[in-house]
Chains A and B, each alone.
Chain A
Amino acid sequence: MGISKEYAVQMRGIKKVFGAYQALDDVQLDVKKGTIHAILGENGAGKSTLMNILYGLYQPDCGEIYLNGEKVNIKNPNIAISHGVGMVHQHFMLVDNFTVTQNIILGKEVSNKFGVLNMSKAKNEIKSIVKKYGLDVDPDAKIEDISVGMQQRVEILKALYRGVDLLILDEPTAVLTPLEIKELICIMGNLIKDGKTIIIITHKLKEIKESAEECTIIRKGKYIDTVKVTDVEQSDLANMMVGHKVNLIVEKSPAEPGEIVFDIDNITVEDDRKLSVIKDLSLKIRRGEILGIAGIDGNGQKELVEAITCLRKVSSGTIKINGNEIQNTNPRNVIDNGISTIHEDRQKCGLVLDFTVAENSVLEKYRKQPYSNKGIINNKKIDEFIKQKIQDYKIRPEHCENILVRELSGGNQQKVIIAREVANHPDLLIAVQPTRGLDVGAIEYIHKTLVELRDKGKAILLISLELDEIMNLSDTISVIYSGQIVGTFKQGTVDENHIGFLMAGGKQDAVNN
């Protein structure tokens, strides 16, 4: 394919090496003007690196970049912006206690000759952009007061305000609710209509199918293919991304629930500001059952997990495992009573990143026989244990027992946690966002593991912001809204729309009518 003005971006033979690690190896990219182009790849495949090179954050070791048919040398993001390239990062770069307008104009302030800001002019400009693309956002609201979806819009507005023609969105849907995702896709449509070009980095196949025209697949730093999205199935995309056949649908037999092992009865929990964020919540989980809690972030999921694991006080009500009350004791007691938790933020709460894999694998058990004896740690036993787990859970790289967990990929870090928690033989396993940020292969593996555990008669509490995950995996689905369970359904008796409606605060009765 030649270099042509038809293309907003063309990249040729891009190579990038970090230390001994080849992040990109001869990657090419062709993005047609006025289209949405998806870049698909597993975590660590090199998609973000490629886009950071396009945005001038990294310099390629070799390779060429053409914008609108002309060769460019993008040394830093300012040059990228001057060429009309904008990027919205996965982690937003906004000043929390500034207003939307202030954030947008930051670095490109409109002022008169005395250096006094002309806010009204800036505001009007922003309003016109807002109107044009349907990016509904209050220009006077403070960033800390608006939702994540809104913050993303501010980031997009920031780019548009700087007059970009090519917008790179890095994992834009990772933090959004289903409704927000729909709105984002709609906004992207508006931008395309106006002649802008969009590149989205993602590993969510469904969204690619819904929005993009073309898709470039990268695997392990290598260019695989560019395909027209309408020509391929989701499973084809997944296979290309992973490099082998992937099973997208969770295979599981119908649940055979046993007796109730875990029982939350009317608990009320206060947050740090002494506001009740969980009000009279009750929940029961049976053996051999996966109970999924669907809900938008910030509706009490975090506090619920903290209350169960005794990291937070319960002001009233009881939490029982196997009939023993555990509320308001301490985390160790909870673990000893047979509750294991895969925490949401694995790097902050699940792992000690500067401990070895072996050390992390016994983070809860180091005091127990045979891992230690009379206060002296038995490294031999720990090694035996982790070696077995590395084999069982296919933790990569092989023989990683004595390397730091920090050096493992996200998926393998999560496997270490799961291996550790499952080895506790818990009666209840709490999994909070267990697949967040993981690639398809790892997600498939983790889902399979959870189902296997269920089949062994364990109770599993799954908390996830990804509705698909809840719908596919749970035997029972509960919806949490504003600290209360607003509906509980058996799998298959409810559709995604209804759950989404309840998650957003809709009333059960209104639907029934």
Chain B
Amino acid sequence: MSRHQVRVLVVLALAAYPALYHLLTQSPVGVEAETLLPRMDTMVALLYFGLFAVSFDFISGYTGYLSFGHAAFYGTGAYFVVLVANGKIPLVPSGTPFMITLLCAGLVAALLAVGIGLVSFRLSGVYFAMITLGFAQVLYVFVRGLEWISSNPRDGASVSGSTHPEGFEVGVPFVDGLNLAIGPLSGDTVTLLGHTLGTNAVSFYLVGAVVLACYLAMQRIIHSPFGQVMVAIRDNEERAEAIGYDTFRYKMGAFVTSGFFAGVAGGLFAGFRRSVTPENTFYFLVTGDALLASIIGGFGTLAGPIFGHFFDESIREFLSPAGQGGGLLPYLQTRLSEGVLSAEVGGLTVEGFIEAALNGHASLYVGIVFVLFVLYVPNGLVGAARDRLGGPVTEKLPDRLWDR
């Protein structure tokens, strides 16, 4: 059982987060807590995008084939959910329960992965990365120009208020009382132990449950014989082939599985945000963010990208200007006294300096952190912990903590 302890702890910590955040922000250190801790909607974004990063790691970190066009699957899942909601997809009516729509979104993305994989796995190494990137960029341009999607496809599409005035009905099977909805408009609140959860917290738990289920499924696959062949392919593909494995079929299987989960992640994104644009779904920088999360968290660790993305997003939010998360900049602007702010050092007021150093430069600092990680923590957060402990963190950490 010991290998589950760490996972259970992480899940419990996440589950306790909304209550903790609520308590801390109401407490005397509320302003500091708001400055340091990610807001609830950031936490939801962290979960669905974390799932996307995990699906990227599933194919790229475990088989060694870098799927640089992974955004194509995320975008497909996201657009699918919005288009279903707007009644544009035949056979899937607008009122379909969200969970079923989500499943379909994953399947459509998986189908796309079959097509892209059949062509791309003729190549390997950097050529594989480039051709998948090419496919994603073609789709990006295509979606930008496709007027069937909305009147202005360049700006993407939104869930229509006339079909879905509120959030998506999740439709928890067999439990009518739990007919919750996802998304900031849902208006659903749940009272638990005398504590009322806001709409973002409800979405947080619903998205979290889906992400957890997907993560555990991928975890199972990685530790199955199929997953061992994936690692064998990464290690030495010729040798895996010479043992008798049809490596093409294994690569396709892994790619399609990964595409499915990326589609689900995109579907969660669209369900929560209710609008999608080509830039935040199909664009190559979306894959870039997953790559960043994987490198910071650790390639080939599966859970690592979630932590990596958490790290990345926390820094971004902490350094973002007022109105976009209330990070360090507004904190300093409101907490430092007038005298300090207007003091001049070398022709520049302190306020001006803070503004110049912090406003809108989050990406710069994230970039510096990224370079430091590549240089000094090449195996990422989870990979470095694994090296330190001499084995998988979930197995070794409990021994370290309790048995000695």
Do A and B bind? no
